[in-house]
Amino acid sequence: MKNILSLVLIIFPFFYFSQGDYTQVNKYLALIKTENGYIFTDNKGIKSEEFTYVYFRSNGYIETIIVPPIDPNQIIKVRPRPNDTIPYKDCGYPGFDNTIRSEYHVFELMKRLKMIDDYGFKPYLELSWANIRDGKIDELGYASKNGKHAIVSIQGEFISDLKYNHPIYFEDIKPTFSTYTEKGKIVSVVLDKLTGLEFLATKDSIVRYWGPENYLLKNDKGKYFLTYQANKQEVPELWKYVINLSFESSLFTYKKLYTENLLTKEEHGFINLKGEKVEPENEIIPYTNFYKGHCIAVEVITEEEKFDSKGNLLPQKKNRILKIINEQFETVKILDEVSYINSRFNKYGQIVVESKSTSENGFIIDYKGNHIIPPSGFPNRITEVHEGIYRITDRAYPASNESQQQENFYNQKGEQLVNAETLRITRNIKFKEGIRKNYLVSYGFKMITLDKENGLIDSYYK
């Protein structure tokens, strides 16, 4: 038996206990030292069976070992070695290993102990060590109990309290809207999926949310209240149509859809912080949000009035000029090379546009019109898969070596993120955001590791 226990300690060196007789595993699960081993318990008194040894392994896994007392009078029948002629032979106590070993993920253990009803991670629901090791399991998931839900991590942590009324989904890592019940009243919250922090908790209706200090609420009397840079003020309903915020601008753009004569129409315009419409002298239609006081817009210039020989007004030609303007509606740069706007300014002040010179050719500019990724001269498709992460795919037919060379993932600095060897092996690469790092994955396997500012940390194929 002594030899067996020594072997166990060699195989499983990651003994977790560092706090004496009590260890808090996560917010709802603890491990307590007993006279003969260890038991798991929750904050409501649920207790597990007693384990002789417990070892915490990586990736949220727990190894449990039960060593039952051995009856020295018990006769154990074991199968013979290949050269034995006796079908079975008796073996007594010496050298016999009767330990019972089990390995569970923390959440599977909690489910078996009925501490939670269910848990889930995407895209693979099975929390196997191999799936987690290869990155096939998202770092974030949910746990539920009696209709209440919590955000949990793959390491077995509860990132949020187990109190929310709605399941929490992780198609992206943007803040999620949920509710919980407090003293019989419903509280609406904006919940950060990465940290579990409640950015906002209110009994009013959440109309728009741009960040922890910037959001629009509607109270039960139908009034709208804007909190902008932590300052609260009443504003008109028009504010709910604002395209996006830049916290270094004092002018904002909106896009409102309405129905008139059974037709859906759009209204574009400019408003100030109070929600008052701001009308430029000329006809200017905003296409994007403002970013640091810059906006892409179309200025419509109508030719001067001209009359024919009989004094009749001739049709007036209208020229549409795509340009970058400032908050005084002055021209910063005319965008002669741009035919179409595909997105809005992201947090880096960048935007995906289409080229005039080449059909279906995308490129990326910043809020001053500088090239981040210049036009390529052949058809391609650019998709922003995350803030400042772009994917370029080849649309040239037939494809050329030149057009294929541009296919890659790029960051906001215009740097290629995937090397040629990785692209050669697989083209099925997708973006995945993690808690502390981001990844480019292929068939669930982490190929590229990025920091939170989209810088390259590591690649699987050097």
In a domain, 13, yes or no: yes
Where does a domain end: 107, 125, 150?
107
Cβ contact 377:358 at 8 Å: yes
pLDDT band at 201 (very low <50, low <70, confident <90, very high): confident
Where does a domain end: 63, 86, 107?
107
Residue type, 355: S
In a domain, 224, yes or no: no
In a domain, 418, yes or no: yes
Residue 335 has pLDDT above 60, yes or no: yes
**What average pLDDT does the segment 242-262 reach?**
86
Residue 222 has pLDDT above 60, yes or no: yes
Residue 37 has pLDDT above 70, yes or no: yes
Higher local confidence (pLDDT), 173 or 305: 305
Q: Note the pLDDT of residue 14.
A: 34
Residue 414 has pLDDT above 90, yes or no: yes
Domain span at residue 378? 372-462
Where does a domain end: 87, 107, 127?
107
In a domain, 281, yes or no: no
Contacts 24+ apart (CB under 8 A), 454-459: 454/386, 454/388, 454/389, 454/411, 454/412, 454/413, 454/417, 455/411, 456/411, 456/415, 456/417, 459/418, 459/419, 459/422
Residue 141 and residue 156: Cα distance in Å, rounded? 10
| DSSP label of 32 | E
Residue 303 and residue 282: Cα distance in Å, rounded? 12
Q: pLDDT of 43-89, one tens digit each?
A: 888 899 999 999 998 889 999 999 887 666 665 555 555 555 545 44
**What average pLDDT does the segment 340-361 reach?**
90
Q: Note the pLDDT of residue 94.
A: 46
| DSSP label of 294 | B
Most confident of 93-97, 218-222, 294-298: 294-298
Q: Note the pLDDT of residue 224.
A: 95
Cβ contact 437:449 at 8 Å: yes
Where is average pLDDT lowest: 98-102, 160-164, 234-238, 241-245?
98-102
Residue 296 and residue 351: Cα distance in Å, rounded? 10
In a domain, 337, yes or no: no
Measured from the Cβ of residue 418, the count of other Cβ atoms closer than 10 Å reads 22
In a domain, 148, yes or no: no
**What average pLDDT does the segment 86-108 reach?**
67
In a domain, 306, yes or no: no
Where is average pLDDT lowest: 15-24, 123-132, 240-249?
15-24
Residue 95 has pLDDT above 80, yes or no: no
**What average pLDDT does the segment 405-417 reach?**
93
Q: What is the mean pLDDT of the chain?
A: 84
In a domain, 145, yes or no: no
Total count of domains within the chain: 2
Q: pLDDT of 274-287, one tens digit each?
A: 999 999 999 999 99
Residue 357 has pLDDT above 90, yes or no: no
Where is average pLDDT lowest: 248-252, 391-395, 427-431?
427-431
Q: Note the pLDDT of residue 16.
A: 40
Element (H, E) at 25: strand 22-26
The rounded percent of the chain whose pLDDT value lies above 70 is 87
Q: pLDDT of 124-161, one tens digit each?
A: 667 888 888 777 788 888 999 999 999 999 899 999 99
Q: What is the DSSP annotation of 179-240? A: EEEETTEEEEEEE-TTT--EEEEESSEEEEEEETTEEEEE-TTS-EEEEETTEEEEE-GGGG
Cβ contact 455:412 at 8 Å: no
Q: Note the pLDDT of residue 84.
A: 54
